[in-house]
């Protein structure tokens, strides 16, 4: 998908896509750098877009690690299915992250070690954001981690309502903040 196509998806669905361009390689490295790939058995990714984080997850994961990708945008979902059609232990779901409990139940996933999120919480309605985060807390195993990035710290207090430990780091290449939170 070209930069122009990504921009078009943003213009058509700004509350869902939330960015004008795909995430940078630098941000991707930081996001997946928090994962212990030797121990992770189940990883979930919300809002994969064009699959920038997904590529890093696929390269670094243990081949037996199962990755479930949830993407709400149909065009992005079709792109992801084509891009990763040869990958094993990867499932791409065209749906909302709000339904994560249903998706993991359907596919026999007992818990999740890590949730990586590219969702634009600042532009999502409060009720949807709350449902997504609440369900995320429920599916994470005891020492599981939720890793997300945001363009602003506006949702920091919101996220703190659900997680007791938060660390914030910056990716200065495009002025992102990302949150690593533990349940």
The model's pLDDT over 137-156, given as tens digits with 9 standing for 90+, comes to: 999 999 999 998 776 666 67
pLDDT of residue 17: 42
pLDDT of residue 32: 86
Tell me the average pLDDT across 76-91. 95
**What share of the chain in percent tops pLDDT 70?**
74
Least confident of 18-27, 45-54, 81-90, 101-110: 18-27
As beta bridge partners, residue 93 has 70
Tell me the average pLDDT across 6-16. 46
Instruction: Report pLDDT digits (tens) over 130-139.
Output: 999 999 999 9
Instruction: Report pLDDT digits (tens) over 31-46.
Output: 788 899 999 999 999 9
Distance, in Å, from the CA atom of 92 to the CA atom of 85, rounded to the nearest integer, reads: 10
**Could you give all domains of the chain from N- to C-terminal order, each with its CATH number?**
3-182 (3.40.50.150)
Least confident of 7-11, 74-78, 97-101: 7-11
Distance, in Å, from the CA atom of 114 to the CA atom of 75, rounded to the nearest integer, reads: 25
pTM above the 0.85 mark? no
**What share of the chain in percent tops pLDDT 90?**
54
């Amino acid at each position: 998908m070209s930069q122009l196509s990504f921009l078009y998806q943003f213009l058509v669905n700004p509350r869902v896509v939330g960015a004008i361009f795909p995430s940078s390689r630098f941000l991707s490295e930081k996001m997946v750098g928090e994962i212990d790939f030797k121990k992770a058995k189940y990883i979930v990714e919300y809002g994969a877009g064009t699959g920038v984080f997904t590529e890093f997850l696929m390269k670094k994961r243990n081949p037996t690690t199962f990755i479930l990708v949830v993407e709400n945008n149909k065009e992005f979902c079709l792109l992801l299915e084509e891009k990763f059609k040869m990958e094993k232990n990867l499932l791409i779901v065209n749906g909302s992250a709000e339904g994560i409990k249903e998706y993991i139940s359907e596919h026999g996933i007992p818990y999740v070690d890590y949730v990586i999120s590219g969702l634009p919480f600042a532009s999502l309605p409060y009720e949807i954001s709350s449902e997504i985060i609440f369900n995320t807390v429920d599916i994470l195993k005891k020492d599981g981690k939720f890793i997300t990035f945001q363009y602003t710290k506006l949702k920091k207090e919101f996220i703190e309502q659900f997680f007791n430990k938060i660390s914030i780091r910056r990716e200065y290449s495009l002025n992102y903040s990302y949150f690593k939170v533990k349940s």
